[in-house]
C-alpha cells in the first residue's frame, strides 16, 4: 500500500510563528525543523537542519557541515566520508596548531598531527635514452620530434602532430571521394574509378551508338538505334499488305497495319453475360446491353456513358438486413423498437457533428439517461455537464433541448477509488479485510 503524505507547516525562517505544543514547522530557506512548546516564537525548539549534515547515498558518503555564524548558516565547510569504507575508522585531531606550511599526517592508528611536507622525486624514462630522476623544483621539458609539436599554456601541456609534406613526416588527410581509410589501411574507392571511366564513355560520340553511365550500379549501358532506311526491304508489313495475309515470324507490322486489323475485328465479337441465374450475349456491332432494376427495390438510369444503379427514396426491408461495411444514418432521429440491443463496439462516441468532432461549443450536455418509475416517471443520468465541465451522477434529472439539470444528485457505489490528476494515475482509497485506507494522499499543514 502506498502510504499517505503528511506535510508539516512550512515557510521561510523570517516568518516562523509561535508553534503550538507539539506542532512541527519547517523552514524552506534554511531547511530547519522546529517543534512548538507554547505558541511563543522564542520557545520554538530547534530539532535539526540539513545545514549541519549531508545525507549519504549509494555513491557518496555522509558529511558533517561546519556552518558560519552569519546569514543563518548559508556557507559551510563539509567533512565527508568516502562512499565505501573497509570498517570503522576513528581519527584523533591534533591537540595544537602546527607551523605555517605544515601538513596533517597520521601515525597509522588514526592519530593525526602536523608535520613539515617531505621532499619528493620520481624517475622519468622514454623510448630512447636512460632513466633520469626528477626532483621537486626542477623544470620538466617536453621536446617534440619529427612531425610533433609541443606547447605549454595555462598549466596545460599540448602535444600535437604536424601536417605532412613531401619533406616532413606528419598527419595526412585523404579525400573521401577518392579514398577510404580504415584502421590505417588506405584503398582507392571503386566508385571514383567508375566515375572516371563512365565520364570517358558518356563524353564519346559514335553514330548509331549511345553510351550511358549508370552511377547507381556502376554499369555502362550501350544503345544502338537503326533508322527506317536501314531496315531491309520486305521486313515491314504495310497497311496495304495487311496483317491477316502476312502470318509469319519474319516481318514486323507498321502501326497503320495494326490499327486496320483491330478496327476490322473488334466489332465482330459478342459479349457474353451471366447473372445470378441465366446467361445471355450481346452482339457488339448491332445490339445494346440493358440493365434493368426491380420495382420498389432497385432503380437504374442511363445518361451518355454512365449507368446509375441505386435504391429508391423509401426502402422497406421486410426480413433481416445485414450490413457488412459501415452504416451511416444522416437523419434527425434514430429509433430502435426492440426489447434487447447488443453492441459489440468497445467505444461509443457522443457529440459528433456529421461524423466529425464539433468545431464550436454546442452548449449541450452529453451522457446516458435512464428512465424509471417510482411515484412518477423519472430520469436518472450520468452525463458531462457542458457548462460546469465535469461528470455528474444524477438520481433525478430533467432535460430541455439537450441540456440536463441535476435535480437530485445520485450516489456512487465503488470498491476502490483511483484519481488521475496532477499527481498521476494512482489509487487513493483501498480496503484490506475490514480496514479502509487512504493512499497517495497529502495531509498539508499549510504555510507560514
Residue 378, number of CB atoms within 10 A of its CB: 16
According to DSSP, residue 140 is labeled: P
Q: What are the DSSP calls for 27-68, one per residue? A: ETTT-EEEE-SSS-GGGPEEEEEGGGEE---SSS--EEEEE-
Q: What is the reported pLDDT for 226? A: 61
Least Cα distance to 379 among 351, 349, 400 occurs for: 400
- Residue matched to cell numbers 445490339: 287
Burial of 80 (0-12, 13-18, 19+ CB in 10 A): middle
Q: pTM for this structure?
A: 0.37
**What's the farthest any 2 CA atoms get from each other in the chain?**
129
The distance of Cα 184 from the centroid of its chain, to the nearest Å, equals 40
Q: What is the reported pLDDT for 78? A: 92
- Residue matched to cell numbers 590505417: 184
pLDDT averaged over 10-residue windows placed end to end, the chain, 448 residues: 79 91 90 90 85 82 86 82 90 92 91 85 71 74 82 85 81 81 82 75 65 73 64 73 78 83 70 80 77 80 87 82 88 87 90 90 95 96 96 96 95 91 89 86 80
Confirm if 196 and 213 have CB atoms less than 8 A apart.
Answer: no
- Residue matched to cell numbers 507547516: 9
Confirm if 444 and 8 have CB atoms less than 8 A apart.
Answer: no
Measured CA to CA in angstroms, residue 9 lies from 6, 14, 21, 115, 426 at distances of 10, 14, 14, 51, 25
CA dihedral sign, ordered 343, 344, 347, 352? negative
What gap in Å lies between CA 249 and CA 310, rounded to an integer?
A: 51
Confirm if 395 and 409 have CB atoms less than 8 A apart.
Answer: yes
The string over 177-206, giving b where at least 16 C-beta atoms fall within 10 Å of a residue's C-beta and e elsewhere, is eeeeeeeeeeeeeeeeebbeebeeeeeeee
What gap in Å lies between CA 1 and CA 416, rounded to an integer?
A: 13
Amino acid at each position: 500500500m502506498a502510504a499517505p503524505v503528511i506535510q508539516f507547516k512550512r515557510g521561510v525562517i523570517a516568518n516562523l510563528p509561535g508553534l503550538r505544543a507539539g506542532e512541527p514547522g519547517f523552514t524552506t530557506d534554511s531547511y530547519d525543523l522546529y517543534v512548538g512548546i507554547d505558541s511563543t516564537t522564542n520557545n520554538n525548539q530547534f530539532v535539526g537542519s540539513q545545514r549541519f549534515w549531508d545525507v549519504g547515498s549509494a555513491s557518496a558518503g555522509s558529511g558533517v557541515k561546519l556552518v558560519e555564524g552569519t546569514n543563518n548558516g548559508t556557507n559551510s565547510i563539509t567533512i565527508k566520508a568516502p562512499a565505501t569504507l573497509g570498517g570503522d575508522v576513528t581519527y584523533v585531531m591534533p591537540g595544537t596548531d602546527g607551523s605555517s606550511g605544515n601538513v596533517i599526517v597520521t601515525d597509522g592508528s588514526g592519530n593525526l598531527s602536523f608535520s613539515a611536507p617531505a621532499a619528493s622525486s620520481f624517475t622519468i624514462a622514454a623510448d630512447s635514452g636512460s632513466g633520469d630522476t626528477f626532483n621537486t623544483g626542477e623544470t620538466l621539458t617536453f621536446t617534440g620530434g619529427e612531425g610533433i609539436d609541443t606547447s605549454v599554456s595555462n598549466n596545460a601541456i599540448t602535444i600535437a602532430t604536424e601536417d605532412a609534406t613531401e619533406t616532413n613526416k606528419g598527419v595526412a588527410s585523404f579525400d573521401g571521394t577518392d579514398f577510404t581509410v580504415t584502421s590505417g589501411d588506405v584503398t582507392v574507392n571503386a566508385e571514383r574509378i567508375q566515375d572516371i571511366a563512365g565520364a570517358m564513355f558518356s563524353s564519346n560520340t559514335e553514330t548509331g551508338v549511345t553510351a550511358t553511365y549508370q552511377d547507381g550500379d556502376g554499369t555502362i549501358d550501350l544503345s544502338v538505334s537503326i533508322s527506317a532506311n536501314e531496315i531491309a526491304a520486305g521486313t515491314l508489313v504495310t497497311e496495304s499488305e495487311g496483317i491477316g495475309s502476312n502470318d509469319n515470324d519474319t516481318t514486323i507490322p507498321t502501326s497503320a497495319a495494326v490499327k486496320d486489323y483491330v478496327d476490322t475485328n473488334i466489332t465482330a465479337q459478342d459479349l457474353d453475360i451471366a447473372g445470378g441465374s441465366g446467361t445471355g450475349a450481346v452482339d457488339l456491332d448491332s445490339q445494346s446491353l440493358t440493365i434493368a432494376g426491380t420495382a420498389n427495390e432497385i432503380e437504374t438510369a442511363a445518361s451518355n456513358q454512365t449507368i446509375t444503379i441505386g435504391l429508391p427514396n423509401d426502402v422497406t426491408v421486410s426480413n433481416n438486413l445485414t450490413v457488412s461495411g459501415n452504416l451511416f444514418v444522416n437523419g434527425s432521429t434514430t429509433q430502435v423498437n426492440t426489447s434487447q440491443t447488443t453492441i459489440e463496439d468497445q467505444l461509443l462516441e457522443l457529440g459528433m457533428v456529421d461524423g466529425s468532432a464539433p468545431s464550436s461549443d454546442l452548449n449541450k450536455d452529453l451522457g446516458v439517461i435512464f428512465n424509471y418509475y417510482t411515484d412518477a416517471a423519472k430520469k436518472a443520468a450520468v452525463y458531462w455537464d457542458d457548462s460546469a465541465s465535469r461528470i455528474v451522477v444524477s438520481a433525478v434529472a430533467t432535460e430541455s433541448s439537450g441540456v440536463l439539470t441535476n435535480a437530485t444528485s445520485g450516489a456512487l457505489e465503488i470498491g476502490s477509488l483511483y484519481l488521475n490528476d496532477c499527481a498521476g494515475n494512482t489509487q487513493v482509497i483501498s480496503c484490506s479485510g475490514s480496514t479502509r485506507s487512504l493512499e497517495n494522499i497529502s495531509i498539508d499543514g499549510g504555510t507560514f
